[in-house]
Amino acid sequence: MLGFLILLAVFVPILAPYNVVQAWNDPGAWTNNPKLAAPEWSEIFSGKHLPRTILLASNGEPGGFDKVRISFNVSGQTYTIVVLRKSFSFQFDTFPSEIKLFMTAVFGNATGTQIRVFWDRPDGQEIHLFDGNPSVRAPYENTYSLTGPSFKDPSYAVYSSVRDWLIAKNVTNQTEWASLYPTSGGIYQNPPQTQTMLMGRLNRTILDPETAEVLKGNYSFRIEFSGFTPTDDANARAVVYGTVFGLAGTDYEGRDLLVALLWGAPVALAFGVAGALASVLIQTILGAISGWYGGFIDEFVQRTADFYLIIPTLPILILLGILYHLGILLILFVLVVFGVVGATTKVVRSIVLQVKEEQFIEAARSYGASRSRILFRYILPRVMPYTFALIALTVPAFIFLEASLSFLGLGDPSLPTWGHILGDAYTQGALFASRAYPTGLWWWVFFPAAGIIFTTVAFALLGYAFDKVLNPRLREQ
Amino acid sequence: MPLPVLDVKNLVLWYRTRKGPVHAVDDISFALEAGQTIALVGESGSGKTSTANSILRLLPKNVLRYEGEVVFDGQDVMEFDNEEFRKVVRWRGISMVFQGAMNALNPTTRVGSQVAEPLIVHYDIDRREAADQAIEALGKVGLSGDIARRYPHELSGGMKQRVVIAMSLILKPKVVILDEPTSALDVMTQTNIINLLKDLKNTEHLSYIFITHDLGLASELADLVGIVYAGQLVEVGPAEGVFVRPKHPYTGKLLASVPRLRSEAAPDFIPGVPPDLTDPPPGCRFHLRCPVSFEKCGWSAPEFIEQVKLLQISEETKDKVPAIEAMKAKDTQTLLIKPVANGTIAEFAQRLTSFIAQDQETYRFLKSVESVQSKAKVVEVKLHEAMPPPLIGADWRASCWLLEAGGS
Ligand SMILES: Nc1ncnc2c1ncn2[C@@H]1O[C@H](COP(=O)(O)OP(=O)(O)OP(=O)(O)O)[C@@H](O)[C@H]1O
Ligand code: SF4
Ligand SMILES: [Mg+2]
């Protein structure tokens, strides 16, 4: 178990370089991923082939959009026409979660510059999706959502195009549409899911997302751009977002949770081991000094330990987190500072008091070994085995602390730790079942939680294993 | 007469406890010549280990009194400060094999480095060289060099004991204190260890202080024997003498209590328990258990009362004792007895006196009565004065009032 974790900790930085982690908080870095997608393998539960994300690259990239550009002059007026076209095959059993078109455009004069977007279906139907004016110039992208899951405004162009197309094909009529998709105060109560209409079989089932059947086959985008200067140009890319992604799914920003899960392991390990190692070792040495030298030193260390034991570390950390937004190293530092003396100091002291009376210590005194030599060469080696067990058992405590802080949003904001993800999932209501996600966003919660449990159990088992090895009765054999 | 290598004079070591001072070593003196072995023999708790510890100045925190002279090699090392003592005496001059060698080894360190540890502590020599010397020392005690790489728990009890002996020899001391070096071993291993110690004594020119409660082992090894009772040496003298013709009744009892193979006679035993060292008995410390105690041995009034009560309780003896209502110690040597009211005080005193006269050979505490006087309502019994017996003799000393009387 532990071996697996350590392997993970070693290989993760190689497999998923740190810059992936740096991009974690950059929403722009994750636009090609579906949001809140379940893991790909979860389709075995539904028995359906669930849509993966299809990336349609821009012109110039391999497999990208095809492009024709002509620029010509009529009576002193330059016209530039760009036609972009890309088809793709869609063979999945359910509809994509979202379809987006991203366009870059170079244009001189904004007025009159126009794009017209068409959608061709495997059944030969073509839908004129919308006409628009690009609003930003390259290199920035104009983003058009064809499905607009977050729009409820009935005036959204794609809604009208789809509605008009369905009416033209006699699938529905104005009144039925209005009753199926009622509006109130100028917004849809329950907006039509355009992706089902764009990609469903053209019959009455298409009106209801529950009954619509996927029309498998080749779809294509066709985009016509027209501008008025010789340098005008346009390019496009599109993403047909799936409903499943990767091994661990995605969160509400479309971030690949696998990255966070994998990176969570080394972070948790490093944090837990470093924290436990530092605090337990310091506590051990102080406890040993306290027990061995006795007297004033003992009194001082023990009273300090008593004091430290009643300091509520977590609330203090929460306070510090709120005030200063500590990075992970600072959190570790604060934890270690608040853990220089504590329970381990007391445990070790009592072990030392016992070891102190053993004959071999007396023997060492008798042949003249100095007090510090006895402490470091005789007593500490005797205590160390217990210390190792304690370290192993303390690691989970540190991992839990970090997770708790991150969960409360007080951890290191720049690192996708397991606690951090759980915190995100919690604030986004991941566990509430919705119509789109009848089982809730289980993967968002399950994997980081499993990671924490796995790691803590691994260390607890290690601790118990140490315990067993160190049990004198077992050791004598 | 050669100068003794170790001359212990009036050594005292008392511990402070909640019950009061423990007189663990109470005025012990003996001298040991080079090459001699003294066996310190005594019951458990008599203060043998404490004597050894006070020679090596291995004191616990609760020391109350620690005084006397320890002359080692002509120098009174009691005068040394701790650092000097550590440098001169500890292990270089006098080393020790601790009681229960099983635990005297550090379980986490290899045997070789433990044997070498005193070398490193004292001479700060190179590890390699220390390891070589350790292997050499292990060879001397009959262990092969590869033992050096083992951990203590991989060794048998006898091997551990040899390791500890090797460790005590590593700095070539003149005196080795062996505190019950064989008590946890089986008889065959014991014999092997004793033979080893004999050989080492000759090849390494050692003097031993051999602490044991086993008289058989003591007679194997010892030139001198010191019998320790309640923190004191009650008899010390040449082994041939002490074992054959003991002067002190306690030594006699000890010898009689050794079981003999194929002997018809059951081994004798010593009645009672060793005295409580927080409150050692006055006079001779052995008088409560001594089979031949008499007037001078030092019974005190409270002890007398205790003994009378024991007689009153016992079914056999309760009729012999004159009827008594109450007894009370007036001072340490005087007690008042109030008789049950029938007859006069004088009559009671009469009965008491005749009881004492009749039974004093059986119940020897009765011998301590000096006088019986009738008072108004009570009888006052005066006991003989309690004085500890002095050590009598020169090369063979014992502390028993009988010796004074017999003029031996
Ligand atoms: N540190 C101490 N504090 C108080 N009392 C002690 C201490 N060490 C020993 N004693 C007491 O002093 C007395 C003598 O103890 P010591 O260990 O010298 O006896 P011993 O003759 O070596 O007995 P044994 O044969 O059992 O080893 C005992 O009554 C013991 O309880
Ligand atoms: S002085 Fe001698 S006779 Fe008297 S009690 Fe002591 S040992 Fe026995
Ligand atoms: Mg002892």
Q: How many other C-beta atoms lie within 10 A of the C-beta of residue B277? A: 24
For the stretch B192-206, pLDDT in tens is 999 999 999 999 889
H/E element holding A225? strand A217-227
Going by C-alpha positions, the residue among B287, B221, B213, B219 that lies closest to residue B254 is B213
Q: Find out whether the beta carbon of B400 lies less than 6 Å from any atom of ligand 2.
A: yes
Distance of CA A284 to the CA centre of its chain: 38
Distance of CA B236 to the CA centre of its chain: 11
**CB distance A366–B98 less than 8 Å?**
yes
Of A358, A368, A476, the CB nearest to B121: A368
Question: B354: exposed, middle or buried (C-beta count within 10 Å: 0-12, 13-18, 19+)?
Answer: exposed
The CA distances from residue B48 to B12, B54, B176, B238, B253, in Å, are: 12, 10, 15, 19, 19
Q: Which tokens sit at A259?
A: 């990255």
pLDDT at A188: 87
Q: Which tokens sit at A185?
A: 């105060």
For the stretch B170-220, pLDDT in tens is 999 999 999 998 887 888 889 999 999 999 999 988 999 999 988 888 998
Contact status, residue A189 vs residue A224, Cβ threshold 8 Å: no
Task: Specify the residue with its C-alpha closest to ligand 1, atom 1.
Answer: B60
Biggest distance spanned by C-alpha atoms of chain A: 114
Helices (H), A189-325: 194-199, 257-293, 295-310, 313-324
Q: What is the DSSP string of B168-215?
A: HHTT--SEEEEESTTTTS-HHHHHHHHHHHHHHHHHTT-EEEEEES-H
Edge-first strand listing for the sheet containing B369-374: B324-331, B334-339, B379-383, B369-374
Per-residue pLDDT band for B165 (boundaries 50, 70, 90) equals: very high
Q: How many other C-beta atoms lie within 10 A of the C-beta of residue A261? A: 22
Contact status, residue B400 vs residue B234, Cβ threshold 8 Å: yes
For the stretch B242-265, pLDDT in tens is 999 999 999 999 988 887 777 777
Residue B177 φ then ψ, to 5°: -90, 125
Contact status, residue A415 vs residue A263, Cβ threshold 8 Å: yes
Going by C-alpha positions, the residue among B161, B155, B158 that lies closest to residue B99 is B161
Q: Which tokens sit at A17?
A: 């370089």
Going by C-alpha positions, the residue among A424, A138, A398, A426 that lies closest to residue A279 is A398
Of A365, A367, A370, the CB nearest to B95: A367
For residue B213, the ligand 1 atom closest to its alpha carbon is 25
Contact status, residue A118 vs residue A221, Cβ threshold 8 Å: yes
Can you tell me whether residue A144 is helix, strand or coil?
Answer: strand
What number of residues does chain B have?
A: 408
Pocket test for ligand 1, best of B18, B48, B53, B233 (most atoms within 8 A of CB): B48
Q: Rounded to whole angstroms, how far apart are CA atoms A336 and B74?
A: 57
DSSP letter, residue B390: P
Can you tell me whether residue B45 is helix, strand or coil?
Answer: coil
Which of A356, A367, A380 is the best mutation test for B, with the most CBs of B within 10 A? A367
Say which residue, B375 or B230, is predicted with more confidence. Answer: B230
Task: Specify the residue with its C-alpha closest to ligand 1, atom 11.
Answer: B24
Strand segments (E) across B230-312: 232-238
pLDDT at A477: 42
Return the percentage of chain B with pLDDT > 90, whole number.
Answer: 43
For the stretch B261-313, pLDDT in tens is 777 777 778 888 888 889 889 889 999 899 898 888 989 989 999 888 888 88
Distance of CA A278 to the CA centre of its chain: 30
pLDDT at B39: 95
Question: B39 has which bridge partners?
Answer: B210, B225
Q: Find out whether the beta carbon of B97 lies less than 6 Å from any atom of ligand 2.
A: no
Q: What is the DSSP string of A235-248?
A: EEEEEEE-SB-TTT
Q: Rounded to whole angstroms, how far apart are CA atoms B114 and A190?
A: 83
Task: Specify the residue with its C-alpha closest to ligand 1, atom 26.
Answer: B44
Angle at A436 between CA A434 and CA A441, to 5 degrees: 65
The CA distances from residue B221 to A403, A405, B139, B349, in Å, are: 70, 72, 22, 55
**CB distance A364–B117 less than 8 Å?**
yes
CA of B92 to the centre of ligand 3 (A): 23
DSSP letter, residue B394: S
Q: Rounded to whole angstroms, how far apart are CA atoms A366 and B14?
A: 19
ipTM above 0.90 for this complex: no
Q: How many other C-beta atoms lie within 10 A of the C-beta of residue A429? A: 11
B375: left (phi over 0), alpha (psi -120 to 50) or beta: beta
For residue B292, the ligand 2 atom closest to its alpha carbon is 3
Domains (ranges, CATH) in chain B?
6-93+171-256 (3.40.50.300), 299-383 (no CATH)
B230: left (phi over 0), alpha (psi -120 to 50) or beta: left
Q: Rounded to whole angstroms, how far apart are CA atoms B53 and B77?
A: 14
Please, which residues have CB within 8 angstroms of residue B280's CB and are 6 or more apart in sequence?
B23, B26, B230, B231
Interface A:B, Cβ pairs < 8 A? 61
Q: Find out whether the beta carbon of B387 lies less than 6 Å from any atom of ligand 2.
A: no
Question: What is the dihedral angle through the alpha carbons of B39, B43, B48, B50, rounded to the nearest 10 degrees?
Answer: 180
Domains (ranges, CATH) in chain A?
51-242 (no CATH), 258-476 (1.10.3720)
Can you tell me whether residue B111 is helix, strand or coil?
Answer: helix
Question: A239 has which bridge partners?
Answer: A55, A100
Contact status, residue B351 vs residue B321, Cβ threshold 8 Å: no
Please, which residues have CB within 8 angstroms of residue A184's CB and are 6 or more apart in sequence?
none
Can you tell me whether residue A401 is helix, strand or coil?
Answer: helix
At residue A442, what is the residue type?
W
Can you tell me whether residue A35 is helix, strand or coil?
Answer: coil
Q: Rounded to whole angstroms, how far apart are CA atoms B359 and B366?
A: 7
Contact status, residue A231 vs residue A113, Cβ threshold 8 Å: no
pLDDT at A471: 58
Of B100, B108, B167, the CB nearest to A359: B100
pLDDT at B54: 94
pLDDT at A185: 84
Model-level pTM?
Answer: 0.72
Question: A237 has which bridge partners?
Answer: A102
Packing angle, helices A328-337 and A257-293, rounded to 10: 20
CA of B228 to the centre of ligand 1 (A): 12
pLDDT at B406: 54
Q: How far is A359 from chain B (nearest CA, A)?
A: 5
Q: Find out whether the beta carbon of B391 lies less than 6 Å from any atom of ligand 2.
A: no
Q: Rounded to whole angstroms, how far apart are CA atoms A173 and A450?
A: 51
Q: How many other C-beta atoms lie within 10 A of the C-beta of residue B86? A: 21
pLDDT at B408: 41
Q: Rounded to whole angstroms, how far apart are CA atoms B147 and B141?
A: 12
H/E element holding A13? helix A2-15
Of B90, B91, B105, the CB nearest to A360: B105
Contact status, residue A212 vs residue A225, Cβ threshold 8 Å: no
Each of the 477 residues of chain A gets a pLDDT tens digit; together they read: 777 777 777 776 666 666 777 778 887 788 888 888 889 888 888 889 999 999 999 998 998 999 999 999 988 888 999 999 999 999 999 999 989 999 999 988 777 889 999 999 999 999 999 998 888 888 888 988 888 767 778 778 889 899 999 999 998 999 999 898 888 888 888 888 888 999 999 988 998 888 889 999 999 999 999 998 888 999 999 999 998 998 888 888 888 888 888 888 888 888 888 999 999 999 999 999 999 998 899 999 999 999 988 888 888 888 888 888 778 888 888 888 888 888 889 989 999 998 888 888 888 888 888 888 899 888 888 888 888 888 888 888 888 888 888 888 887 777 788 888 888 888 887 777 777 777 778 888 888 998 888 888 888 888 888 777 765 545 544
Per-residue pLDDT band for B407 (boundaries 50, 70, 90) equals: very low
pLDDT at A16: 64
Contact status, residue B137 vs residue B115, Cβ threshold 8 Å: yes
Q: How many other C-beta atoms lie within 10 A of the C-beta of residue A259? A: 20
What is the radius of gyration, based on Cα positions, of chain A? 32
Contact status, residue A364 vs residue A371, Cβ threshold 8 Å: no
DSSP letter, residue A471: -
Q: How many other C-beta atoms lie within 10 A of the C-beta of residue A318? A: 15
Q: Sign of dihedral through CA atoms A58, A61, A63, A65?
A: positive
